[in-house]
Structure 1
C-alpha cells in the first residue's frame, strides 16, 4: 500500500496534488510520502513484536536526511555501508548505538570514525578486515562489537546483480569455515563477538530462501555457543521484495516474514536485527517527469521524457519494471497504445519501457514512475551535465523540498582549471 492515489481525477501524494508540486519545483523530481515510510517501518516492527529486536533501515535505499530523521524518530536504527552513510546517519540524529556498519571494504578511516562516534556493531566480511579492525580498535583503546557475515550458499532466486548469498558472491565468509574464523576473532583483544550476520540478497519474493539460510544460521549459533562464543544477536539482513507492478503476485508480507523468523530462530533467545530498505522506501516514493515530445518512429511510437537514466537508472541497470502512470487520471474507457518510453540522454540504454501500453498522452503532460523511492535518487548522477533532480517530502497537506536542483553554474564551478591552461 502507498499514499499516491487519484482523487477527483488527479494524482495526489497524501493530501497534496502532484501537479502542484511540479508547478513549484519543476520536473523531473522525486516525491516521498511520510505516511508510507512510517507505515512500512511499523509493519516490520510489529511483525517482530514480542521478540527482542531492532529494525535497522538499510539507508542505501534512500538516504536523504529528512527520510532518515523521519524513520529514526519512529524508532528505527540504521544499516550503513560507507563512511559517508555513517556521517549522514549521525547528522540526522541517529545515536551510534543504533547504527550497524556493513560492507566488504571498510577502510581504517571509516572504522576509526565509527569507533569514535559510536557504533552498535561491525558486520565483518573477511579475515583481513577482522585483523585491521582489531588494530584500529587497539590503537583507540576500545573493543569493537562484531558479528561475522556468513555466506550460506543459498540461491535467493533474484536478479544476479542483487544476489549476495551464493558461494560465488563477494560477500561474507563461507559458512563451512565459520567456526575457525570465529575462533580467530575470539583471540583478537580489540574485538568483542556479539553475534552472527547473514544477508542473501534483495527483492526476494519467496520466504523459502530466507528459511533455508536461517536454518543454517540456527545450526551455526548452537555450534558457536558450544565453542564458547557469546552469540546473543542475529543480524538477518534485509531483502524482502516489493510489488513493482499492480498485477504481479504479491511478495510475502512482513507479518509472514516475522512469523517465519519466530519458527526458525525464536528458541535461540537471541536479539533479532533486520535491515529492510527497499520495502520501507520503495513504494514510498515516485519520480515525476514531463513528456517533452511524442515521436512517431518506424513501426513504433516514443514518449520522450525530461527524466532520464541518470535520474532513475534501475531500468537500464537491472531491466527493472516501474509502473508509469499519467498524473491526470485517464477515463476508464480510454484506448491505450504501446509506446517506447525513453529519456533524452544520448544512450540507447536510456529506455524506461518498451511497448508499454499507455492511455493518450501529449507533450507537456506529467507522468509518475511508481515504486521509485528505493535506489532511485541515491543512484542518480549528473551524466550529460544533467543536474541531480529535487527530492520532495510530503506529510499530510504539506510538502518541502529536501534536496534542491543545482544550477548549471553550481555544477560547472566544481571543476578546477589547472594553472597551465
Structure 2
C-alpha cells in the first residue's frame, strides 16, 4: 500500500495506535493521531520524538474525515460517532494488524477464542523460539505488530487476536489459524447476538488457501456448528478431549496424541500447564509445531518447561503445606470456571470485585465439588453470598488482599489450596487486576 502524500488518521494512541503511526510515517504517509481520552506520557513522548502530529481528549473531524485511511483502535466501538461519520463518507477503516500486514511477508500464526488466547499465544511463541525459528510476538500482547514490521526482521509472528481486531481486518491472511473456544463475551459490542460474535471470531479464516491450516476445538458445539456452514479452503486440524482425531490431536487421562505428518505422543503428566482447558491449549500449540515440522523432542521439551503468564493460575508459594495460587487475571465467570476446574485439592476460593453481570449459577456444581470455603474480596459481596449461602458452610468477607490471605491461611489445611480467582474486575479495591495479583502475592510472601 503506497502511502506517499496520502493522509492517514490513527484513532487511539495506545500500543497499537502509536505502532501504526510509526509504521505509517516510515512508509511515507501524512500521519495524524487522535485520542478521545488522555494519552499516556510514554506514548506522547514517542509521538513527539518522532515529530508525529497528535491530539488528545478530542477528535478534530475536519482532519479525520478527510483521511484516505483510518486505523482504528480495537477499543473504539463501531457505534462511536466519529466512526459512523467516517463510514458515511466511505473512508476505509482498518485495524493496526491489517495495516501492518500490508508491509510484511512473514508467516502468521493467529490465535483467537474467548478464553486461553494469551496462554496459547505465549506457549506457541515459546515453542517456535525453542525450535530456533526467527519469530515475533504481537497482537493483543507484547509490542505492536506495526512497530515490529518497520524493521521487518522476523520470518514468523505469533499473534493473539481479539474479535475487535478481527472486525477491522479484510485482506490479512493467517497461515495457521487457531480457534480455541467460543463462549458469550463482549456481547454488548455485537447487538447481544451470539451469532454476530461467532461470525467475528470466524473472520480468522478469511483469505486462507489450501496451503494453510485451521486448528480448532472439536469439542466446542458453537465452533463445529458454524464450521459446517463455513466454506474454507484451509486444511482442518481439530483437537479434542473426547475422541481420537485422524488429522489433529486428542488427549485422554494418560497422554496426548498429535497426528500431523506422523504420530507424536506425550504423557499428560509431563505438560507444564495443568487442567483440561490447558491441555486444549497445549494440543493447539503442539499441532502448530508439527505443521511447521518442528522436531518432536523440541515440542515435548517446550510443552513441559513453559512458564505461564503472570496472574494467570500462577503458583505463588507453599506455606506450611498450603499452596497459594494467583489467578487475578480471571475477571469473568468463565475464566474462573477454568481455574476451579483445574484444582485437584480442596480449595479456599477468594472471589469478588466489580461484577460485569455475572451468573454464579454456572459455577455452582464446580464450587460444590472443589471449594471448602469462600472469601469475598469486594466492596459489595451480596450477590456472591446469596449465590452460595447454604451450599458452602464458610463464607467470610475481606476488605484487602492482606486480610483475604490471612483468612485463607486460617481456613486451609496442609495439602489444600488458596486460590485467588475473582471472576470480577478489580477497580473497587485495586487499580487493576495486576495490582490485585501483586498485593495478593506480597501478602502471601509476608505470611
If the length of structure 1 is used for normalisation, what is the TM-score?
A: 0.28
Higher relative contact order (CA 8 A, sep 6+): 1
Report the structure, 1 or 2, having the larger helix content. 2
If the length of structure 2 is used for normalisation, what is the TM-score?
A: 0.27
